[in-house]
């Protein structure tokens, strides 16, 4: 194929956008509406997952050691535990640090009556997990260490968070799948209708002696362009809506903002932008490619 | 004069000047009687042929077979040396570039102007842009539309639209011009104008095949007339007439 013919077919794809204004508008609107819904849902679900993740990060397992266990022995256990995949971070709290913390939190000036550290055997390890659902496996391992006297953990919190996590995963996967299927159905219908209306144009090209590539290329270019425009519009809208919605919630509901930490728009768009573009371009490309093929056998 | 033969097939030699050959061609659809039934037809280079017959006689099926839009159920079709029964899908575009086609409903691209509609045919066969700029005005002048190259299709009369279609069919200098009811949507004056243009094109060496119902034109032009009925050729005469069967 001549280079000029290649650029001609690309150029025709661009021109077709203007020639078939209503089809372009309908397709862009359908893609935009579907991807807007998808983007809004994605933003909400991602923030929700972040809230649960933040809560999970606060869940810890506290390990106390037998009377007389030296600091070196505790630190050896610490470094052994740090190698395990369940463990994200371990803080060593010495007996003195534990007493200082207790005094500050509960006793205040009444602590002056204590001359010795009543928590002398309370040196402990605070273990933070990568995933709370792994807590039981880690606790079983820690309890098997001979130096360990007691392991404190909040089983209810871990189970609840783990359950919420699974629920979010299933619900979001289900809704995203439904949204995607509805989007693909709606968009491919629009593309199919738009191209079927131009069946005559395809027939003429074929009668004159156009190759399948020459017939298909402008439609595919057009489909890709519609996909790009259709995915950029909702991204721009979501960007502004999201930024303003967060500002509004933070300013109006200060209690809520201290409890929930919203993800910055950049974090959301890191994944939402490529996903939306891939969906938009993918549907535009495959929709036009497949639909034109149906009319090529002339 | 001694005849030149191209090749031997089915015990028959195809003369070099024979451009279209149908041998025992049958085309059946899933239901009903065959649309074409054992048709034999030989058309030489440079001929002007009318194909006439009532609706359902098989004329449209014949045109579709010649365009390789349909494949025969039985028999062989050879057009310009291409065996249309065996031709590979990817070679069909190259074959069709030898044909010019004109339809009753013009089939022009309504969102493009006259120039673009004709240039489009050249783009498809990848003619360089500079050549397109020379060829299109020249062919538009041939069909007397030089002054309307910027017009939108919707601004043209039926006769003018058919002339654009004719220009589009001819711009690639086809060996064969196929016209399916080219005057079906035109008044008598425009019909005659189109037929005169076709005759002129034929005089320049292009083989012209016209499917038509227009008895007046067929009888006046004194060309070869092939009459079809119920899928078979019932008459094939030089300087023939379109006789009313009823």
Segment A82-115, tens digit of pLDDT: 888 888 889 888 877 877 777 777 776 666 666 6
Grade residue B42 by pLDDT with cuts at 50, 70 and 90: very high
Angle at B125 between CA A289 and CA B81, to 5 degrees: 105
Grade residue B28 by pLDDT with cuts at 50, 70 and 90: very high
pLDDT of residue A127 exceeding 60, the answer is: yes
Q: Does B121 touch chain A (CB under 8 A)?
A: yes
When CB atoms are compared, the residue of B94, B96, B126 closest to A5 is: B126
Q: What are A35-65's pLDDT values in tens digits? A: 998 899 889 888 888 888 888 777 888 888 8
Q: Cα(A164)–Cα(A55) distance, rounded to whole angstroms?
A: 11
Residues 6+ away with beta carbon under 8 Å from A2: B126, B128
ipTM for this prediction: 0.82
The residue of chain B with its CA nearest to that of A206 is B93
When CB atoms are compared, the residue of A5, A19, A209 closest to B96 is: A209
- A209 to B97: CB separation less than 8 angstroms, yes or no: yes
Q: What are B158-196's pLDDT values in tens digits? A: 999 999 999 999 999 999 999 999 998 888 888 998 999
How large is the average pLDDT for residues A5-14? 83
Q: Give how far Cα B15 sits from Cα of A78, B7, B43, Å.
A: 97, 8, 10
Structure confidence at residue A272 (pLDDT): 93
Q: Does B93 touch chain A (CB under 8 A)?
A: yes
In the numeric block, which tokens belong to residue A7?
């650029």
Q: What are A209-244's pLDDT values in tens digits? A: 888 888 888 888 988 999 999 999 999 999 999 999
Residue B140 CA, chain-centre distance (Å), reads: 19
Q: Which residues of B208-238 are buried (b: 16+ CB within 10 A; e: fewer)?
A: bbbbbbbeebbeebebbbbbbeebbbeebee
Residues 6+ away with beta carbon under 8 Å from B138: none
The residue of chain B with its CA nearest to that of A202 is B109
Residues 6+ away with beta carbon under 8 Å from B211: B50, B51, B52, B59, B60, B62, B63, B178, B179, B180, B181
Q: Does B69 touch chain A (CB under 8 A)?
A: yes
Q: Give how far Cα B244 sits from Cα of A186, B21, B54, Å.
A: 54, 27, 10
Q: Cα(A151)–Cα(A149) distance, rounded to whole angstroms?
A: 7
Q: What are B95-135's pLDDT values in tens digits? A: 999 999 999 888 898 888 999 999 989 988 888 889 999 99
When CB atoms are compared, the residue of B107, B128, B129 closest to A204 is: B107
Q: Which of B68, B21, B69 is nearest to B47 (CA)?
A: B21
Give all strands of the β-sheet with B176-180 in edge-to-edge order.
B99-103, B176-180, B207-211, B48-53, B224-229, B232-237
- The neighbour count for residue B150, using CB atoms within 10 Å, is 10
pLDDT of residue B5 exceeding 60, the answer is: no
- B123 to A201: CB separation less than 8 angstroms, yes or no: no
The CA distance from B246 to the nearest CA of chain A, in Å, is 35
Residue A128: helix, strand or coil by DSSP?
strand
Structure confidence at residue B244 (pLDDT): 65
Which residue stretches of B97-187 are H helix? 114-124, 129-142, 158-170
Tokens 């590539």 sit on residue: A213
Tokens 């996903």 sit on residue: A275
Q: Does B82 touch chain A (CB under 8 A)?
A: no
Which chain B residues touch A211 with a CB distance below 8 Å? 90, 93
Which chain B residues touch A4 with a CB distance below 8 Å? 126, 128-129
């Amino acid at each position: 194929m001549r280079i000029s013919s290649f650029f001609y077919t690309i150029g025709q794809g661009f021109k077709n956008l203007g020639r078939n204004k209503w089809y372009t508008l309908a397709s862009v609107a359908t893609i935009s509406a579907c991807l807007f819904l998808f983007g809004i849902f994605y933003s909400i679900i991602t923030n929700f997952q972040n809230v649960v993740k933040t809560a999970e990060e606060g869940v810890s397992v506290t390990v106390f050691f037998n009377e007389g266990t030296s600091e070196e022995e505790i630190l050896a256990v610490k470094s052994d535990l740090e190698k395990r995949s369940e463990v994200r971070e371990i803080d060593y709290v010495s007996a003195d640090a534990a007493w200082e913390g207790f005094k500050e939190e509960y006793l205040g000036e009444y602590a002056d009556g204590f001359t010795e550290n009543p928590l002398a055997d309370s040196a402990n390890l605070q273990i933070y997990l990568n995933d709370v659902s792994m807590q039981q496996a880690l606790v079983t391992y820690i309890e098997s260490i001979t130096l360990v006297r007691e392991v404190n953990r909040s089983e209810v919190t871990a189970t609840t968070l783990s359950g919420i996590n699974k629920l979010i995963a299933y619900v979001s996967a289900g809704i995203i799948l439904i949204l995607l299927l509805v989007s693909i159905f709606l968009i491919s219908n629009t593309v199919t209708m738009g191209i079927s209306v131009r069946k005559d144009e395809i027939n003429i090209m074929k009668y004159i002696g156009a190759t399948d590539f020459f017939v298909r290329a402008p439609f595919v270019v057009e489909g890709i362009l519609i996909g790009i425009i259709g995915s950029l519009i909702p991204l721009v809208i979501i960007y502004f809506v999201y930024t303003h919605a967060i500002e509004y919630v933070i300013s109006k509901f200060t209690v809520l903002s201290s409890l929930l930490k919203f993800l910055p728009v950049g974090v959301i768009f890191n994944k939402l932008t490529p996903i939306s573009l891939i969906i938009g371009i993918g549907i535009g490309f495959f929709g036009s490619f497949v639909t034109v093929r149906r009319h090529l056998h002339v | 004069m001694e005849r030149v033969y191209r090749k031997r097939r089915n015990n028959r030699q195809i003369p070099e000047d024979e451009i279209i050959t149908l041998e025992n061609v049958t085309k059946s659809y899933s239901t009903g009687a065959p649309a074409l039934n054992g048709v034999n037809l030989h058309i030489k280079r440079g001929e002007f042929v009318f194909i006439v017959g009532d609706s359902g006689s098989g004329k449209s099926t014949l045109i579709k077979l010649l365009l390789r839009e349909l494949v025969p159920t039985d028999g062989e079709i050879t057009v310009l040396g291409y065996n249309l029964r065996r031709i590979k899908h990817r070679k069909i575009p190259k074959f069709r570039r030898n044909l010019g086609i004109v339809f009753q409903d013009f089939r022009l691209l309504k969102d493009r102007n006259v120039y673009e509609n004709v240039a489009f045919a050249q783009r498809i066969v990848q003619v360089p842009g500079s050549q397109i700029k020379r060829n299109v005005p020249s062919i538009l002048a041939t069909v007397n539309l030089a002054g309307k190259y910027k017009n939108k299709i919707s601004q043209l009369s039926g006769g003018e639209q058919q002339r654009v279609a004719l220009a589009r069919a001819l711009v690639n200098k086809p060996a064969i011009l196929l016209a399916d009811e080219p005057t079906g949507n035109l008044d008598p004056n425009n019909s005659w104008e189109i037929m005169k243009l076709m005759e002129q094109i034929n005089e320049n060496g292009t083989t012209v095949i016209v499917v038509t119902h227009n008895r007046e034109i067929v009888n006046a032009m004194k060309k070869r007339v092939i009459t079809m009925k119920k899928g078979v050729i019932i008459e094939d005469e030089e300087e023939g007439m379109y006789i009313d069967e009823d």
